[in-house]
A = this chain, B = another copy of it.
């Protein structure tokens, strides 16, 4: 038997290079050749791990989704709901260089997903997970109004996700509006998740 390597680890390294490139220069600059260069490999080596470019992009999209879920799970569950929610959104917002890269990659894949069924399916699955986790978490914290608190928490979760995505989008092309947009986030969270829990 010849030498063998950890194929999954190699795929992850190449996928990371895809995300790095997509975040720094946009998804348009992602080609098999540029990815290979970014990963310190030859174009042929990349082809050994991904038979087609689409397969490579799908893998990278899954990787990006996994990173989001990781970050969501990493927020301190001991924080008060309002602060925890704010921290949660902040971990996904491009407020510094590191998060900017992550958010830019997410946006690039989301945009392409609008015209690419495969990427769309991956995105929808990740979104469903995040949405459910967020809604359950809001329900536990006692938010959710009206006759159906469960349904209201789902609507609330969708609103928070949309708010976060919209803020991320604008931060990416208008980083100078950072302070104003963070104020807007605070203001919106105050309105959506009032500090005083209705039924303590």
Contact = CB atoms under 8 A, between A and B. Distances in A.
Given A155-B180, A187-B159, A127 B169 contact: no
Q: What interface size band does chain A fall in? A: 35 or more
Contacts of A120: 173-174
Given A107-B111, A111-B107, A192-B191, A170 B163 contact: no
Interface in A134-193: 151-152, 154-159, 161-167, 169-170, 172-174, 177, 180-181, 183-188, 191-192
A65 interface: no
Contacts of A158: 177, 180-181, 183-184
A178 to B, nearest CB: 11
A190 to B, nearest CB: 9
Given A166-B166, A180-B158, A26 B114 contact: yes
Interface of A: 25-26, 28, 104, 107-108, 110-116, 119-120, 123-124, 127, 151-152, 154-159, 161-167, 169-170, 172-174, 177, 180-181, 183-188, 191-192
Given A114-B172, A120-B173, A157-B184, 10 more contacts: A111-B111, A114-B173, A119-B173, A151-B183, A158-B180, A158-B183, A158-B184, A162-B163, A162-B184, A163-B188
